[in-house]
C-alpha cells in the first residue's frame, strides 16, 4: 500500500487550462473570473452576495471592520480553532474573548452569555472540522444583545444546518480556500458571503484600498483581492465541490462503521436531522493519540493533529492576555487526544479498510 497522506488537493487538467486561459486573456487583478467565481459561490451557498478576498484570515478581518467593530470591542469566539480565528479579531483592533467547546468540537453556547460585557460587539462561531455550530442559539443570544455574528466557515464549505449552508446563517460567513480545505484556489484565497448588500459593498471597498470610483478613496482599505488566476481555478473546483462533499460523507460513514467496535477511540458526531457535517477533517479522540499516530505513520498512514495547543495557551495569547492552563478543559482535552485520520474525496474504500485494520491491530496488540 502506498503512503496515505492526510489530505490530497486536486489539481487536474481542467484547472490547469482554466488557469492558463485566465492568465492569457484576463486582467491579473479583478478579471472576469473573479466576478464569475463570486456569482457561482453565492449560488452554491444560497446567499445574495459573495465577495472574494485574498485569504480566509482577511475574510474574517474585513468582515469585522465591515461590521463596525470599534477599537477594543470584544468578539466572543472559541478556544479550539486555528489561530487565524482569534488573530483576525486582533487585526481588526478588537479583543477576542474565548469560550470552551462542547463534545461536538464546537463552541459551547451555554458559556456565551456569561462572557458578554459592555464592550462585546460580536460572536464568531467556528464550524470546526466541518461540524456546524449551534447557530440558532447563537443568533438568539446575538439578537437579544445587539451583537453581530460572523461564521468562520474556513472548514465548512458544504456543511448544512437545517438544510441551509453554513455561511448563510448569520450576518456574514467567511471561507478559506487554503490548499487543504474542502476546495482550494491552489493558493491563498477567501470569500465573504452575506445577504446584506451594504456589507458586501463595504467588503469590496475594503479589499481594494477603499477605492470607488477609480482614484477616489473613501475609507482606509487594504490590498486583499483574490487573484484572477486563483478565481479561475476556484470556479472549476467549485463545480466538483458537491461531489467531493458527498465522498467525504461516505468516507466518514465507512470509517464510523469500521471503527465503531474500538472502545479506546471516540468517533466524531454523525449526521442528525439538523446537522449534516462536511467532514473537512475526520477527527477521532483517544488517550493513546501519540502512540497511535506513530504506529500508523510506520504503516504508511499519515495523520495530523488539529490543533496541539488551544489558542489561549499559545505563547502570544498568554503574553497578551495572561491565559492559564485549566481555563478551557474541553479544548485542552481535545488538543491532547484528537487526531485526524486521512480524509479527502479520492480516499478509496480499500485505503479506509487498511487504515481501520491498522487501528484495530494497534489496540489489539
Using CB under 6 A, list all residues that contact ligand PLP. Answer: 55-57, 81-82, 84-85, 126, 152, 154-155, 176, 178, 188, 190
**Calpha distance 282→284 (Å, rounded):** 7
SS3 for 271-285 is CCCCEECCCCCEEEE
For residues 57 and 335, which CB has a smaller minimum distance to ligand PLP in the complex?
57
For residues 145 and 180, which CB has a smaller minimum distance to ligand PLP in the complex?
180
For residues 55 and 95, which CB has a smaller minimum distance to ligand PLP in the complex?
55
For residues 177 and 323, which CB has a smaller minimum distance to ligand PLP in the complex?
177
C-alpha cell at 64: 469585522
Find, among 223, 234, 242, 155, the residue nearest to 187 by Cα.
234
Q: Beta partners for 149?
A: 123
Question: Minimum distance between the CB of residue 260 and ligand PLP, rounded to whole angstroms?
Answer: 28
Q: CA end-to-end span of the chain, whole Å?
A: 21
For residues 172 and 292, which CB has a smaller minimum distance to ligand PLP in the complex?
172
For residues 133 and 352, which CB has a smaller minimum distance to ligand PLP in the complex?
133
C-alpha cell at 144: 437579544
Coil, helix or strand at residue 191: strand
Find, among 109, 112, 157, the residue nearest to 134 by Cα.
109
* Residue listed under C-alpha cell 459592555: 118
Instruction: List, in order, residues 6 or more apart from 239 with CB less than 8 Å away.
Output: none
Question: Minimum distance between the CB of residue 118 and ligand PLP, rounded to whole angstroms?
Answer: 27
For residues 153 and 355, which CB has a smaller minimum distance to ligand PLP in the complex?
153
Find, among 165, 146, 169, the residue nearest to 156 by Cα.
165
CA 146 remoteness from chain centre:
25
Question: Minimum distance between the CB of residue 155 and ligand PLP, rounded to whole angstroms?
Answer: 5
For residues 44 and 362, which CB has a smaller minimum distance to ligand PLP in the complex?
44
Coil, helix or strand at residue 251: helix
Q: Are strands 95-99 and 148-152 parallel, antiparallel or unpaired?
A: unpaired
Question: Minimum distance between the CB of residue 357 and ligand PLP, rounded to whole angstroms?
Answer: 30
- Asked whether 321 and 312 are in contact (CB, 8 A), the reply is yes
Instruction: List, in order, residues 6 or more apart from 87 with CB less than 8 Å away.
Output: 57
Which residue's Cβ lies closest to ligand PLP? 56
Question: Minimum distance between the CB of residue 297 and ligand PLP, rounded to whole angstroms?
Answer: 23
Question: Minimum distance between the CB of residue 268 and ligand PLP, rounded to whole angstroms?
Answer: 16
Question: Minimum distance between the CB of residue 83 and ligand PLP, rounded to whole angstroms?
Answer: 8
Q: Beta partners for 101?
A: 107
Question: Minimum distance between the CB of residue 117 and ligand PLP, rounded to whole angstroms?
Answer: 24
Amino acid at each position: 500500500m502506498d503512503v496515505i497522506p492526510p489530505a490530497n488537493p486536486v489539481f487536474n487538467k481542467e484547472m490547469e487550462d482554466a488557469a492558463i486561459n485566465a492568465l492569457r486573456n484576463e486582467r491579473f487583478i479583478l478579471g472576469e473570473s473573479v466576478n464569475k467565481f463570486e456569482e457561482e459561490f453565492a449560488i452554491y451557498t444560497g446567499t445574495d452576495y459573495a465577495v472574494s478576498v485574498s485569504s480566509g484570515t482577511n475574510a474574517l478581518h474585513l468582515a469585522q471592520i465591515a461590521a463596525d467593530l470599534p477599537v477594543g470591542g470584544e468578539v466572543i469566539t472559541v478556544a479550539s480553532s486555528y489561530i487565524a480565528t482569534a488573530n483576525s479579531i486582533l487585526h481588526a483592533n478588537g479583543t477576542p474573548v474565548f469560550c470552551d467547546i462542547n463534545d461536538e468540537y464546537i463552541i459551547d453556547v451555554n458559556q456565551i452569555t456569561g462572557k458578554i460585557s459592555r464592550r462585546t460587539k460580536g460572536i464568531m462561531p467556528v464550524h470546526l472540522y466541518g461540524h456546524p455550530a449551534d447557530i440558532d442559539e447563537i443568533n438568539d443570544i446575538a439578537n437579544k444583545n445587539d451583537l453581530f455574528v460572523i461564521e468562520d466557515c474556513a472548514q465548512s464549505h458544504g456543511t448544512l444546518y437545517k438544510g441551509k449552508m453554513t455561511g448563510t446563517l448569520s450576518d456574514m460567513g467567511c471561507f478559506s480556500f487554503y490548499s487543504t480545505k474542502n476546495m482550494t484556489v491552489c493558493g491563498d484565497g477567501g470569500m465573504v458571503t452575506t445577504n446584506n448588500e451594504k456589507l458586501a459593498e463595504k467588503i469590496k471597498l475594503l479589499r481594494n484600498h477603499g477605492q470607488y470610483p477609480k482614484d477616489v478613496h473613501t475609507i482606509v482599505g487594504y490590498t486583499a483581492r483574490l487573484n484572477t488566476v486563483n478565481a479561475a481555478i476556484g470556479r472549476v473546483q467549485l463545480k466538483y465541490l458537491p461531489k467531493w462533499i458527498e465522498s467525504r460523507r461516505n468516507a466518514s460513514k465507512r470509517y464510523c462503521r469500521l471503527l465503531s467496535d474500538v472502545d479506546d477511540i471516540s468517533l466524531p458526531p454523525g449526521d442528525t436531522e439538523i446537522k449534516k457535517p462536511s467532514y473537512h477533517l475526520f477527527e477521532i479522540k483517544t488517550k493513546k493519540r501519540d502512540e497511535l499516530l506513530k504506529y500508523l505513520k510506520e504503516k504508511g498512514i499519515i495523520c495530523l493533529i488539529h490543533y496541539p495547543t488551544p489558542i489561549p495557551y499559545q505563547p502570544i495569547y498568554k503574553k497578551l492576555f495572561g491565559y492559564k492552563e485549566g481555563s478551557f478543559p474541553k479544548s485542552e482535552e481535545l488538543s491532547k487526544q484528537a487526531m485526524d485520520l486521512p480524509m479527502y474525496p479520492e480516499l478509496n474504500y480499500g485505503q479506509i479498510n487498511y487504515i481501520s485494520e491498522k487501528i484495530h491491530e494497534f489496540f489489539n496488540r
